[in-house]
């Protein structure tokens, strides 16, 4: 019996071991990072690849994509698309798949983890106890969350899930985005500055990329004010990190909960000394269940494209 030839897939960076094993079982996969000279490898062998698998953290640059003239599909593990030039891919007729929806709950959960932590000082209180400070005095009072005002920057799939979480805390919720969302039950605020001025808690969950770079700048932080908290579970580039550090140091805002940074995995050392900021290593989707669901959809996008000519979840 004639064996069907496997499609040749270029893997840009490392992925979950179980996803790599599944891909290798069904496709002819080559890891670009295993090459001592990736550019030379692509020049010699790039024309033989039909697909690319990558991640939101790594993406694929245009130079690499241009060295792959036979590629028809990109499947990315994650929802961030700021490291893939979608118009460039579209001009080539390349389909781009990603993994939306399956991580909405975990990202929303972590947004509230950060919000509650920084408002109530949970991580700071943990350090207070571990240092042996409790016998010498009381830990400072925190900020009540329930019944407060929640501002959401970006009401996409995850933004809506965060807003829904807010109902359990009886939060008055408003949102800012490029345009009103037709069926959203929450009030739209056309001015980001005014949303920040109104909110007790400002949660950032807009897309990354050039269009939102430093959307949250010193002016927005000053509008948030000394009683306002900011949470970022979007992309580090959305916040002007230098301005945020200054605002936290000078207590011009009350605090911040950060899962993402401008130059990951590097975090400004000035933040390490501050108790009014909670720092996490980009783990919003980091649960066994969600990462498995993301891996499954990454694989399913490739399989569906080659079998049926369509993606399970297409970007754009």
Strand partners, 254: none
Catalytic annotation on 264? yes
Give the H/E segment covering residue 257: strand 255-258
- Helices first, then strands: H and E counts in the chain: 11, 12
Non-local (6+) Cβ contacts of 246 within 8 A are 218, 252
Catalytic annotation on 235? yes
Catalytic option among 8, 88, 213, 282: 282
Catalytic option among 227, 264, 289, 310: 264
C-alpha span between 292 and 15 (Å, rounded):
11
Catalytic option among 83, 174, 176, 235: 235
Torsion of CA 247, 162, 123, 140, to 10 degrees: 70
C-alpha span between 167 and 189 (Å, rounded):
18
* CA distances for 89 relative to 73, 100, 195, 308, angstroms: 9, 19, 35, 20
Q: Is 60 in a helix, a strand, or coil?
A: strand
CA triple 223-225-231, angle to 5 deg = 90
Catalytic annotation on 176? no
CB 33 within 8 A of CB 54: no
Strand partners, 199: none
Catalytic residues: 235, 264, 282
């Amino acid at each position: 019996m004639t064996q069907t030839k496997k499609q040749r897939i270029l893997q840009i960076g490392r992925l979950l071991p179980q996803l790599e094993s599944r891909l290798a079982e069904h496709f002819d996969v080559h890891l670009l990072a295993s090459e001592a000279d990736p550019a030379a490898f692509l020049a010699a062998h790039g024309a033989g690849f039909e697909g690319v698998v990558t991640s939101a953290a790594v993406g694929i640059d245009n130079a690499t994509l241009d060295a792959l003239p036979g590629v028809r599909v990109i499947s990315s593990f994650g929802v961030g698309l700021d490291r893939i030039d979608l118009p460039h891919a579209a001009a080539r007729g390349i389909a781009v798949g990603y993994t939306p929806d399956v991580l909405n709950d975990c990202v929303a959960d972590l947004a509230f983890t950060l919000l509650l932590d920084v408002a109530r000082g949970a991580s700071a209180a943990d350090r207070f106890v571990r240092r042996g400070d409790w016998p010498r005095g009381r830990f400072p009072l925190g900020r009540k969350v329930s019944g407060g005002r929640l501002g959401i920057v970006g009401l996409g799939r995850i933004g809506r899930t965060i807003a829904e979480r807010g109902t359990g805390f009886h939060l008055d919720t408003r949102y800012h985005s490029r345009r009103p969302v037709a069926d959203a039950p929450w009030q739209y605020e056309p001015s980001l500055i005014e949303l920040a001025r109104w909110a007790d808690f400002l949660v950032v969950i807009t897309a990354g990329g050039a269009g939102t770079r430093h959307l949250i700048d010193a002016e927005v932080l000053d509008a948030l004010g000394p009683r306002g908290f900011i949470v970022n579970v979007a992309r580090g580039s959305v916040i002007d990190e230098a301005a945020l550090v200054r605002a936290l140091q000078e207590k011009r805002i009350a605090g911040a909960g950060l899962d993402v940074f401008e130059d990951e995995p590097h975090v400004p050392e000035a933040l390490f000394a501050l108790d009014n900021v909670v720092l996490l290593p980009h783990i919003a989707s980091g649960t066994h269940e969600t990462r498995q669901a993301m891996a499954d959809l990454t694989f399913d996008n490739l399989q569906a494209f080659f079998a049926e000519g369509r993606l399970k979840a297409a970007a754009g």
